[in-house]
Amino acid sequence: MNSRKIDATAKTQRASALSWRWVVMGFSLLFVALVWAAQARAQETTVSHGFKRFGELKYPADMAHLDYVNPDAPKGGEIAVWTQGTFDSFNSYARKGTAVWGATIGIERLMTSTADEIGSSYCLLCESIEYPEDHSWVIFHLRDDVKFADGTSMTAEDVAFTHNLTMEQALESFREGVKRIISGVEVIDPLTVKFTFVPDSPKFDRIDQAGATSVMSKAWFEKTGHRLDETSDEPFMGTGPYVLDSFEFNERVIYKRNPDYWGENHPLNIGRNNFDTIRVEYFADSNAAFEGFKAGAYTFRIENSSKQWATGYDFPALEKGWVVKGELPDGTMASGQAFIINLRREKFQDPRVREAIGLMFNFEWSNESLFFGLYERINSFVENSYLEPMGPPSDAELKVLEPIADLLPPGVLDSEPVMAPVSRADQAFDRANARKAGKLLDEAGWTVGDDGMRRNAAGETLKVEFLQRSPAFDRIVNPYVDNLRKIGVDARLDRVDNAQWVDRRYAFDYDTVNDSMALGYEPGSGLAQMLGSADADVSVFNSPGLKNEAVDALIEVIRRAETKEELDPAVSALDRVLRAIRFWVPQWYKDVHTVAYYDMFEYPEPLPPYDLGYLDFWWVNADKAAALKAAGAFQ
């Protein structure tokens, strides 16, 4: 056979093979397309302008503005507020240093909530979100007009960068909570970013967690070399409505409204961010701050001292009509403010010791003698809400509690919830409660010695130190300390400066510490950071260092709840268990905001139920401000 005939045959064979290759490839592509189509049918997605765990969003995609704002509110003027202590950093993400008030004022999240709804999140930096029925992932379709404070455009790269930076350098307790929900972030294109979730994570926590992602400038961090775990002498670059104007360490900081803010006309922002400047004045203590307000050093004050509210507002600026003093409705859940007992310490492991410590705080006397009757006692972690349990457990609560009956503290299943002890109001030392407390301590092995102090078998006194940073609390804590000492407890007040308080708080170096531990209306995975065993050794949010199997089990039920009918009784059941553990000495609350301000601020009526919003949607009446200035009302 000659070579030409061989070449022709080879060509025919190659052509035939190539033809079949294209046929096979065509079938392969068709198969892939069919698989994709099947997957698409199986994973039908929801596209929305927001997300709500239960029920429907209140506001439609074409909303004009929020119902509770004044869309015609004027822009301009200044609001000045106060805070206590010092600062040496603009980084609130790090343990190092003391962050300035408003350190994150210029940073926005992908999604935002409103002040008139529970459990809703709306797209702010995104146009829409897209997710499948199983919530295994969510895609954020970003707006194309979002700008950082330096005028550069925000992209999906910035979103992914911020998430990854946070997971590398933020507080360990925060990272642990997030990584249990978000498994990864993928940039699809410059305006599209996809979050993928841990398969075993609670379904209804996922989108909220991704939507809560703060967004900072990747280019700015790469240029400056700043880290989240170090102090910073300048704010991190964000997209928010306010930027830093000026500051003096430990004295004041001033933020100014960004005139080029990208979101000025966003429907969620209409009628908001109305002040040209927000000034924050620093004071060593609350007494000095009150004197500063009277003199016009700052212009808006939320009054947290009942004594000041009842007796201090008789100064010239008020008498001249320059200052308004009033009470505004507060529809929020009580804060859960309490003296928190540190369970990381062996001496507090016995619940009888904790109960005895709680018995000696006389709220009734404090309210009558120190608070002028302005407060109500906190009994519940969901106080002042529809979630607060009453009477014995309901059938719905029992359905949650009975499977873990062997883990529950005594009385949870068949009794009313534990209430704070009631004391006599006519004297600071309640002898009946003292006898109960003494008996409990005797039973726990803390007996009274010849010197009147209680000691354990090792001869150690029962020391209970109250870590405090506010001088205003001295008049409240000192009578409590005296009551404890009268029954032999080696109690004392340890008041420290703000820097020491932060350092000891993060190091869990305290016997008791003030904290607020409300559970919230629709709690989720955040409960694990606040109350869960897994994070108790590292989480700064778990101030009591709580490790309890029943609590862990209830947190899991709450995290997995798919309906309000499942969630609400589980939250109420958790409240019952927490109260029975007695790791707190609950303090007090009131259902109104007590505010005082120079008569130039105005607000829309009615106010929304879940936020006073004085820095958000209030505004300055320019004519009133000019009249006050002309009259010499301000320093």
**pLDDT tens readout for residues 489-522:** 999 999 998 889 989 999 999 999 999 999 999 9
Tell me the residue length of the chain: 635
Instruction: State the amino acid at position 120 in one-letter form.
Output: S
Q: Is the pLDDT of residue 206 over 50?
A: yes
* Per-residue pLDDT band at 535 (split at 50, 70, 90): confident
Q: Residue 39: what pLDDT?
A: 45
- pLDDT above 90 coverage of the chain, percent: 84
Residue 391's region, left for phi above 0, alpha for psi from -120 to 50, else beta, is left
Average pLDDT over residues 337-349: 98
The alpha carbon dihedral of 597, 602, 606, 612 has a sign of negative
What are the angstrom distances between the C-alpha of 73 and each of 79, 178, 412, 603?
15, 38, 51, 9
- Token digits for 398? 């029992």
- Token digits for 310? 């009842």
Average pLDDT over residues 195-222: 95
Average pLDDT over residues 609-627: 97
Q: Residue 17: what pLDDT?
A: 40
Residue 338: exposed, middle, or buried by beta-carbon count in 10 A (0-12, 13-18, 19+)?
A: buried
> How many Å apart are CA 142 and CA 159, to the nearest integer?
10
**pLDDT tens readout for residues 91-109:** 998 878 889 999 999 999 9
> How many Å apart are CA 164 and CA 156, to the nearest integer?
12
Q: Residue 96: what pLDDT?
A: 85
Instruction: State the amino acid at position 413 in one-letter form.
Output: L
CATH 3.10.105.10 residue ranges for the chain: 337-453+512-589
Most confident of 198-202, 477-481, 560-564: 477-481
Q: Does domain 45-292+607-635 have CATH number 3.40.630.30?
A: no
Q: Is the pLDDT of residue 25 over 70?
A: no
**pLDDT tens readout for residues 403-435:** 999 999 999 999 999 999 999 999 999 999 999
CATH 3.40.190.10 residue ranges for the chain: 45-292+607-635
H/E stretch holding 351 reads helix 351-359
User: Phi and psi dihedrals of 319, rounded to 5?
Assistant: -65, -30
Q: Residue 22: what pLDDT?
A: 37
Q: Which of 341, 360, 353, 350 is nearest to 511 (CA)?
A: 341
Which residues are bridge partners to 32 per DSSP? none
Q: Residue 130: what pLDDT?
A: 98
Average pLDDT over residues 188-207: 95
Helices 156-169, 172-179: crossing angle, 10 deg rounding: 120
- Token digits for 488? 């032999």
Average pLDDT over residues 626-632: 96
Q: Is the pLDDT of residue 622 over 50?
A: yes
Q: Is the pLDDT of residue 574 over 90?
A: yes
Q: Is the pLDDT of residue 401 over 80?
A: yes
Q: Is the pLDDT of residue 32 over 80?
A: no
- Token digits for 537? 């050794």
138-142, 391-395, 433-437, 631-635: least confidently modelled range:
631-635
Q: Is the pLDDT of residue 24 over 70?
A: no
The 8 Å CB, 24+ separation contacts for 399-404 are: 399/569, 400/554, 400/557, 400/569, 400/570, 400/573, 401/573, 401/576, 401/577, 403/553, 404/549, 404/550, 404/553, 404/554
Q: Is the separation of the CB atoms in 142 and 154 below 8 Å?
A: yes
Query: Count of CB atoms within 10 A of residue 55's CB?
Result: 12
Average pLDDT, the chain: 92
Q: Is the pLDDT of residue 11 over 80?
A: no
**pLDDT tens readout for residues 248-279:** 999 999 999 999 999 999 999 999 999 999 99
DSSP characters for 163-209? HHHHHHHS-HHHHHHHHTTEEEEEEEETTEEEEEE-TTS-GGGHHHH
User: Phi and psi dihedrals of 98, rounded to 5?
Assistant: -115, 115
**pLDDT tens readout for residues 448-483:** 999 999 999 999 999 999 999 988 899 999 999 999
> How many Å apart are CA 30 and CA 609, to the nearest integer?
56
- Token digits for 312? 């201090």
Average pLDDT over residues 528-549: 94
> How many Å apart are CA 530 and CA 536, to the nearest integer?
8
Q: Residue 491: what pLDDT?
A: 98
27-36, 495-504, 528-537, 568-577: least confidently modelled range:
27-36
- Pick one of 3.10.620.30, 3.10.580.10, 3.10.105.10, 2.60.40.420 as the CATH number of 337-453+512-589: 3.10.105.10
Q: Is the pLDDT of residue 40 over 60?
A: no
Q: Residue 43: what pLDDT?
A: 67
The alpha carbon dihedral of 530, 536, 538, 540 has a sign of positive
Q: Residue 595: what pLDDT?
A: 98
The alpha carbon dihedral of 534, 537, 539, 543 has a sign of positive
Query: Count of CB atoms within 10 A of residue 158's CB?
Result: 27
